[in-house]
Chains A and B, each alone.
Chain A
Amino acid sequence: MRNMLLVARREYLEQIRGRAFRFSTILVPVLVIGLLGVSAFTGRRMGRGKHIVVAADNAALAADIRSNLLEDKRAEYRVDVVAPVTDQDREQLLARVEKKSIDGLLTVDDSAGDAPHVTYISQSSTDLLDTGDLKTAVSYGLLNLRLTQRGMTPEQVHALVENVPVETLQVSSNGKTGKGQGMAPFYKAMLMTFLMTMPILLYGLDMARSIVEEKSSRIFEVMLSVTRADDMLTGKLVGVGAVGITQIAIWLAAAVILSTSALLHPLLSGDIKIRFTLMEAIFFPIYFVLGFFLYSAFFSGLAATCETAQDLQMYVSLAVVPTWASFAILPFLLSNPNSRWVVAASLFPPTAPLVMMPRIGLSMPPAWQIALSVALLLLTIWAVVWVASRLYRVGILMYGKRATLPELLRWVRYS
């Protein structure tokens, strides 16, 4: 135990003092802030302040479309109307689009009666925001026109087509009905899966790489003469795990400070507010540690059988499969967090930490499922550490070539 703790302490201090730790601890928040800044900036600029000309035969319809477009204050459109429009007008307007003196030309040909022909011509083929806005504006305009032609007053039409707000409510397990959070659960599930997956994978790989490095530095024989292979492996897992928790704690602290500071306020003033519950705060570290131990022990066993980082690469692509599977199950998770497949994935140890955490965030699963997933994880970790420490004990003293599968099985048997 003493030597295990000494190994853990060495691993922790060496990594914390290392340049890579400082670099990634600072770089990740800087990158996140940078990305937020870029997306906020581009989001604000995208589709804003465009100059559009609405060309239609029916002047009332064109004016109605114009007023619909101008209703979207955030888009800051400049809209001109040409109605009634002649062929010559159309040609001139097309020329203006080509010269970019206007951003787009919306023509509405209502002459065919019930089947109007609407085109939007611009130099940008990817302006999805515009086409969405335009479609809505034209649809409302045409609907207004048709209904007034059938004898309704504009006020009646307005009352008929007014947006009906749908309030989303969420029932918690104790039967209380609370206000839903709109898109927030989706982003929260994504965030949790990401926060759980990336550090587990990165630190697991870091652990594997450091074992391959230490193997090539021939340190293991000296170490094995003073400490047991199990203590070395466990010490390494504890040390690297503690580094991971330290780093995530620093990131979260930085996130809390930044999100409450004035600096990021303009970037975070969107409609989505993600809040974490006490349950999530309790279970996140538990599932993180369990997931980390499971994957790191697995990677360690593999790493002990490898000679070079290239050898390791081959295994790593296989080892990340459950992680991708967890991302693949996210859509099912979001649409029905209690479906059979989602429950199975949240109990299956390799995917449990990555699926159960978002599940807890979306709708609290029954206690027995959480207890079972933790128990299965502990059992699997024990088994993986058992096999990994055997591979480790034999593998770290084997030099020269990567072991074949039959050799690995023999190592597990006879060590």
Chain B
Amino acid sequence: MKIYKVKVNGKYYEVEVSAIDEVAGAVRPQPQKAENAVSQGDNVILAPIAGKVLEVKVNVGDMVKKGQTVAIIEAMKLENEIQSAFDGQVSAVNIKKGDDVKNKDELIVLK
């Protein structure tokens, strides 16, 4: 917090000024949430390797159980079954059959 002296209509006033993140409990403006963005508390299924999407096995709105296969990605003739590490409902599917994905790309979001 800093104290500033300001002059208004010829009269001086002392004002205390705090940066917004110094104020306990202050609500900070949030950036506009993009479509398919991940919210706090969402669980994201990531690509464990780079490759091509062979199959997507879930749609938005589907309920998914931990251990359920949600997609298959192929690289170097390795067919990789991507299983969910979480229970939840699919809120976003960011891939489709034939897409190339990179390691750690966000494939599917569960809420």
A and B pair up: no
Seen from chain B, the residues whose Cβ lies within 8 Å of a Cβ on chain A are none
